Structure 1
Amino acid sequence: MSKAALTALVRDLLEQDILCEQEPVYGAGRPSVPLVVRANAAWFIGISLQDDPAVVVLTDLHGTTLARIELPRLPDPEACLASLAGAVGDLRKSLGKNREKISGIGVALPGFVAKDRQTCLACTALGWRNLNIGTVLAERTGLPVWVENDAKALILGEQLFGPLKGSPDFSMVFVSHGIGCAHIVNGRLLWGNAGGAGEISHAPITVDATQALPCRCGNRGCLETVASLLAIGNAARQAGLPTSTRELTLLAAEGHPQALTILHRAGSAMGIATAQLIQMLDPSHVVVMLDSALKDGVYGHALQHEADSHILHRPNTHTMINFRDFEPDSFARGAASLAARYFIFGHGDV
Structure 2
Amino acid sequence: MLSTGHYLILSSLSRNGPESRSELASRLGMSKAAISSLVRDLLKQEILCEQAPVHGSGRPSVPLAVRAEAAWFIGISLQNDPAIVVLTDLHGTVHDRMELPRHADLETCVTSLCDAIAHLRKGLRSARGHVSGVGMALPGFVANDRQTCLACAALGWRDVDIGGLLSKRTGLPTWIENDANALILGEQLFGALRGSPDFSVIFISNGIGCANIVNGRLLRGYAGGAGEMSHAPIVTDMAHALPCRCGNRGCLETVASLLAIGNAARRAGLPTDIAELARLAAGAHPEALSILHHAGASMGLATAHLIQLIDPSHVVVMLDPNLRDGIYGHALQRETESHILRRPASRGMIHFRDFEPDSFACGAASLAARYFIFGPDGV
1:306 maps to 2:335: yes
> How many residue pairs align between the two structures?
350
- Counterpart residue identity of residue 265, structure 1: H
User: Percent identity of the aligned residues?
Assistant: 72
TM-score by structure 1 length? 0.97
Query: Which secondary structure does the structure 1 equivalent of 2:304 belong to?
Result: helix
2:50 to 4, 13, 21: 21
Question: Which of 313, 319, 329 is the matching residue for 1:284?
Answer: 313
One of 65, 68, 79 as aligned partner of 2:97: 68
Once residues 308 and 226 of structure 1 are traced to their aligned partners in structure 2, the CA distance between those partners, rounded to angstroms, is 20
How many Å separate the matches in 2 of 1:304 and 1:215? Answer: 25
How far did 1:100 drift? 4.8
Deviation at 1:28, TM superposition (A): 2.3
Amino acid paired to 1:50:
Q
Aligned residue identity for 1:322: H
The aligned amino acid for 2:295 is A
CA distance in 1, matches of 2:67, 2:378: 23
In 1, are the aligned partners of 2:337 and 2:347 still within 8 Å (CA)? no
In structure 1, what is the equivalent of residue 284 of structure 2? Answer: 255
- The code of the aligned residue for 2:365 comes to A
Deviation at 1:253, TM superposition (A): 1.1
The DSSP-based 3-state class of the residue aligned with 2:194 is: coil
CA distance in 2, matches of 1:283, 1:94: 41
**2:325 matches 1:325:** no
Q: CA deviation at 1:347?
A: 2.6
Q: Which amino acid aligns with 1:53?
A: P
> What CA deviation, in whole Å up to 9, does each residue of 1:90-146 have, x standing for no partner?
111222345752100000001100001000111111111111101111111111100
Q: Supply the RMSD in Å over aligned alpha carbons.
A: 1.3
**2:145 aligned partner:** 116
Cα distance change on mapping 1:7 and 1:317 into 2, 3 Å = farther
Distance in 2 separating the partners of 1:227 and 1:123 = 22
Residue from 205, 208, 211 that aligns with 2:240: 211
The residue aligned with 1:293 is 322
5+ long unaligned stretches in structure 2: 1-29
The answer to whether the 8 A contact 1:286-1:319 is kept is no
AA aligned to 2:338 is: S
Residues 40-79 of structure 1 mapped to structure 2, 5 A cutoff: 40-79=69-108
Asked whether the 8 Å contact 1:172–1:183 carries over to 2, the reply is: yes
Question: How does the TM-score come out when normalised to structure 2?
Answer: 0.90
Residues 44-86 of structure 1, C-alpha deviation per residue, up to 9 Å, x if partnerless?
0000011111100000001000000001111111111111111
Q: Distance in 2 between matches of 1:349 and 1:42?
A: 15
Q: Which shows bigger deviation, 295-304 or 315-324?
A: 315-324
Q: Distance in 1 between matches of 2:313 and 2:349?
A: 6
Residues in 1 aligned to 2:74 and 2:198: alpha-carbon distance in whole angstroms: 27
